Structure 1
């Protein structure tokens, strides 16, 4: 006699076999069977968020911290659409997450009716599959019980293979409760793909023929779970490295071969290195416009540029700014280079880059701080010095997004998590929840702005309920500093919808912390910050710290744009950061870039 299993139980069994430990969700009627089955699992715990956006982001951050697939459940209609910000972030930052959404029973869906023109048929129905197809690697409506295992296996494989990313399975209520014979179910067969392994020989030749090589390391190295191998290769070849915004934690800042960050909001040493190199090898980066600068023809103008990526669309996009494109994954490239290349890098070149790093630290830029006020750059620099070295730092969008990338100097075993390409406000708090479940033994340092905090403030209850080891630093600058900065630069100083005076107000943070029964500290004096951070490090469980800073902190150094007579803008080159260095400073640093 056939042994039948309910589909929702089959899904949980599948996740159990894949060693999934947590599923982030907000319950709803159209996912009742999915929730019922996971609640009975002995190895999987569900985490109750208070908004599906928060659950979707928590699952994404969880995946990034554990280097495993994250899982999120949501109900139909608004529950499903609320996950889109998390899905989009996972898509852009190449994070493997499986999203399962409940749906009306098959006969009451537009997909089930076969009438594509219908907007809605069932209760709370939205055709989420068609909505998310452009931002997922795989999205499918499950209308046949016997195909569910096939789609589960395919989705799991696609989420984690090649360039990882999110997938979504839309599961109607009747499919969730259907019974199937597990032994008769179809399985997904993993396909084979080709890499351009022969072209890797070019790397050996190019390294032999150039004197000023540089690696640009990106987030893709972390995605491939090859950070250790990357650092070992750098050490073996004695080759200098700069990193992108999303790869802040790829190399410890004090590593002798780590020079700095490249990009519009990078640092001077990192940008000088890129613009002076005669060979650029990119590993794990798509060379986004914020990395290369807007004037892409001026990016590393003196260098032969080799772009390595498994994504053909990335290679095609970069044809105009690179001479050599190689289709290969990070793991293959690192293995090949380690085994086949014994490069001899000019000590003069490495010494020159180290000198730039020493001469132009971010903290020496003219960041204004009156009396004992707190400037965000000084705050992030002090925070990086105060932390022990095994924490997970998560920051939000806006000015913190840029300042963290410049001023936080990561240590050997620290992680820095940001909403990279999407730059979503409200990311940090739910991401901290995901990180806390992924690494319960670590201190999670959540740095958010008063503006970003409001977008997912309800997740304070999730943190309080589970007593997560989250330290929430709320930077109070009375609004949206990054937007005010842009308005001041490009709109002749006209400020709108970004300050208290122009309509953006906030609650009393201490009263809010009290309402959630979360311990609270408030500070506005720089001289007391060290004590505050020491208390934070030694505190178990959740803690909120409100830090008062001036309303307008200028973000420097930065590659800025100038307005032309016709009203258009032209961006400076990467090495021409604001504020400009004097001719004497450039001469003393031996900076000579044409």
Structure 2
């Protein structure tokens, strides 16, 4: 049997019925093997990065590792971003690269290159993979394939890379003579006795707590614990706050949904988390995007628990925020143990209901919703007397019109902030994004993988104009395969979140982010060049009808350009590294802010740091002026 055939059949045996590829001579034998495969087929993309992003979300929808194949040199290097995506987001994925014939490889690292397009991809990706290996002996292929799939899924998941030279790909092997991988040696071990003791400790703390909270991250889905986490919040009667990776876990329609959190907090303005006296983090490392720069002020009066299977994240010296109780455990195992004890204590009448605290968190969530009624009015967002679309109004309407079976794939930058602020999730929806590596241009490619994984579901990609440019070539892949992906471009004609940052940090100088140094194309015309159906939304009055039209389109891919002029007001948000995350800009009146604080505000709360926003249209250079960002 040809080794390339073994590799492709192995992928099919793992349930991977679609593999995303871009052809090159160094992976030619692998691609040719698909012609003999019975359980899988390739999907040819226009760029390796598109293949990698698609593979990531194909696997996330399927619940198995995805797979992508690239050629040597530039092809393999184009997979680095998708590999980093999967590493930082803990997504199991298999990346296979071809390489030149072994005889033409450099004999020593002191030699830069010998063969055409020779690249030591293994060394390049070692720091962003769970395992990366070049196959030098054909007899190792079973061992390395089994090892890659095991490591990709075991413990904290992540990507594995297998680099296969041309001569190894075409080598003949006897499958029955290949040796296998011993998976037991690679398992993560922890003490269940210690976990049970920590569960008991939390139960006792919960009985005494007056303002308990949960933070739930994407690890709850990775660990197959979504239903358990929700039930824990219900039985404990504790407000739960999703990270941006968990918006489809603790959904907006969940009874104990507390709101959105972090440096771009959203509904609730972080008051629930910050006023908490007992915090449990499940499936989240509690990153700086949640805590803000002044990490010592985060949930500063709460006793903090965190559960993780990554030992490194449980070392206090390596944590962004030191936790009081660090629980090393598989998230599903932990949730089962905690839920069992919560049910026992609830049945015995030993747990408080926290009625007043839940009511307070709901009040904050509703009162401080970033989406306000006036945003939906005709003319809510204008420039030079011309109407445009208010992105928050558009996003809230889209969330209302999508169904619980749909998939939303979100890009990064300002687009992700608009979604986090305005999109209200329903349980059953799948929300896909990548907040670790956070590359622009991700969502449209990722949506291809999501649709290929389950064509029966509506797949909606949300992307900004800046992200659209980066991978616009994949419209051709969508067209080639008839993918019914619905892409909405939040087109503000600038790098919005960058411009907002520049305005508040560089005295109004906005370089290389638009309109200076950046100007996107007419996306409608470009999409038509790919023979893709297009629509436009130019003002608020068109939002409802055009969303309905796009969602009803069923004849291949569709692109809708949402004209937001130069909107870049992503509020509320944290200004400055010293400001605690409960004090968001634009600031509340100081008396109102103080009334919302159960704990003592930090020193200086009466006079918080203010952004230095200079009017770019000042009459003369150096003339100071201020304005509210558009």
Q: TM-score range by the shorter chain?
A: over 0.9
Aligned to 1:565: none
Cα offset, 1:257, TM superposition: 0.2
Aligned to 2:302: 303
- The 10-residue stretch of structure 1 (7-16 or 121-130) with the greater mean CA deviation from structure 2: 7-16
Aligned to 1:564: none
Report if the CA contact (8 A) 1:58-1:431 is conserved.
Answer: yes
Report the RMSD for the aligned CA atoms in angstroms: 1.7
Aligned to 2:553: 539
Q: Does 1:290 align with 2:289?
A: yes
Cα offset, 1:259, TM superposition: 0.6
Aligned to 1:496: 511
Cα offset, 1:205, TM superposition: 2.7
List per-residue Cα deviations over 1:161-193 (Å, max 9, x = no partner): 111001000001111111122222111011243
Report if the CA contact (8 A) 1:104-1:172 is conserved.
Answer: yes
Cα offset, 1:319, TM superposition: 7.7
Cα offset, 1:277, TM superposition: 0.9
Aligned counterparts of 1:20 and 1:593: Cα–Cα separation in 2: 54
Cα offset, 1:505, TM superposition: 2.2
Aligned to 2:103: 107
Cα offset, 1:355, TM superposition: 1.7
Cα offset, 1:552, TM superposition: 3.2
Aligned to 1:313: 312
Alignment of 1:37-56 (within 5 A): 37-56=33-52
- The 10-residue stretch of structure 1 (339-348 or 302-311) with the greater mean CA deviation from structure 2: 339-348
Using the size of structure 2 for normalisation, the TM-score is 0.89
Alignment of 1:171-570 (within 5 A): 171-190=164-183, 191=185, 192-200=187-195, 201-202=197-198, 203-267=202-266, 269=268, 271-316=270-315, 317-318=318-319, 321-341=322-342, 342=345, 343-364=351-372, 369-370=381-382, 372-500=387-515, 502-540=516-554, 541-561=556-576, 570=577
Report if the CA contact (8 A) 1:375-1:550 is conserved.
Answer: no
Aligned counterparts of 2:478 and 2:9: Cα–Cα separation in 1: 28
Q: Does 1:70 align with 2:101?
A: no
Cα offset, 1:204, TM superposition: 2.3
Cα offset, 1:475, TM superposition: 1.9
Cα offset, 1:588, TM superposition: 6.6
Gaps of 5+ in 2: 346-350, 602-630
Cα offset, 1:365, TM superposition: 9.2
Aligned to 2:53: 57
Decide whether aligned partners of structure 1 residues 345 and 354 sit closer, same or farther in structure 2, where only a CA change above 3 A counts. Answer: same
Aligned counterparts of 1:325 and 1:400: Cα–Cα separation in 2: 34
Gaps of 5+ in 1: 562-569
Aligned counterparts of 1:19 and 1:62: Cα–Cα separation in 2: 12
- The 10-residue stretch of structure 1 (340-349 or 117-126) with the greater mean CA deviation from structure 2: 340-349
Report if the CA contact (8 A) 2:267-2:421 is conserved.
Answer: no
Cα offset, 1:38, TM superposition: 2.1
Aligned to 1:578: 585
Cα offset, 1:350, TM superposition: 1.5
- The 10-residue stretch of structure 1 (264-273 or 510-519) with the greater mean CA deviation from structure 2: 264-273
Q: How many residues end up aligned between the 2 structures? A: 578
Cα offset, 1:270, TM superposition: 5.8
Report if the CA contact (8 A) 1:365-1:557 is conserved.
Answer: no
Aligned counterparts of 2:229 and 2:306: Cα–Cα separation in 1: 16
Report if the CA contact (8 A) 2:301-2:599 is conserved.
Answer: no
- Aligned with residue 133 of structure 1, among 122, 126, 138: 126
Cα offset, 1:585, TM superposition: 3.5
Report if the CA contact (8 A) 2:9-2:39 is conserved.
Answer: no
Decide whether aligned partners of structure 1 residues 170 and 466 sit closer, same or farther in structure 2, where only a CA change above 3 A counts. Answer: same
Decide whether aligned partners of structure 1 residues 577 and 31 sit closer, same or farther in structure 2, where only a CA change above 3 A counts. Answer: same
Report if the CA contact (8 A) 2:408-2:432 is conserved.
Answer: yes
Aligned counterparts of 1:35 and 1:590: Cα–Cα separation in 2: 61
